[in-house]
Amino acid sequence: MADKDLEKKHPSLSFPYIETANNQIIFEDLAIAQHLARQNMPSGLYGGSMFQEAQVDQWIAWALDLRDYTVRANAAIFEGSAGGFKDDSKAIKDLLRNLDRHLKGKQFLVGNQITLADIFVAHIINIPMSLYIDPGFRKSTPSLEAWYSAYIKNANVIAG
């Protein structure tokens, strides 16, 4: 039986969610992460300026597009659709090449420290990088490989 008070504030009862100090509910992982980053702007997780905030949002939107291709590619694998996988895999690689070009000479996606953009993008690319991005492709995208490797080796990151 669901808590009736919680159900009034959060009718979908979806997880994850947080309840704020003023008893309001925020749900969905991205919304929660954005809220927490905005609540602690000195942390730099949302960048160091309004322009960098927009850049963080830009990379999150980019990652959501990548996630859509990844979901379709994974579905194509399970459905045995070689053509579907090939098309979506190509789109994923094209996006990752663009990311590699952006990262050339940079340690982070936005600014000079890790932001929510790095966290979210790395989380999204973890599946293709772990499952079907081959060593040859990784070698051809050295900036992406260096950024991703540094991210997953970061002591504050739990990969997976």
CA pair distance 125, 133, nearest whole angstrom: 10
Q: Which of 113, 117, 122, 120 is nearest to 48 (CA)?
A: 113
Q: What is the mean pLDDT of residues 13-27?
A: 79
pLDDT in tens, 47-76: 999 999 999 999 999 999 999 999 999 898
pLDDT at residue 2, rounded to an integer: 53
Confidence band (pLDDT; 50, 70, 90) for 114? very high
Q: What is the mean pLDDT of residues 75-89?
A: 87
The hierarchical CATH code for the domain 48-153 is: 1.20.1050.10
Percentage of the chain exceeding pLDDT 70 = 88
pTM: 0.82
3-state secondary structure (DSSP) of residue 151 = helix
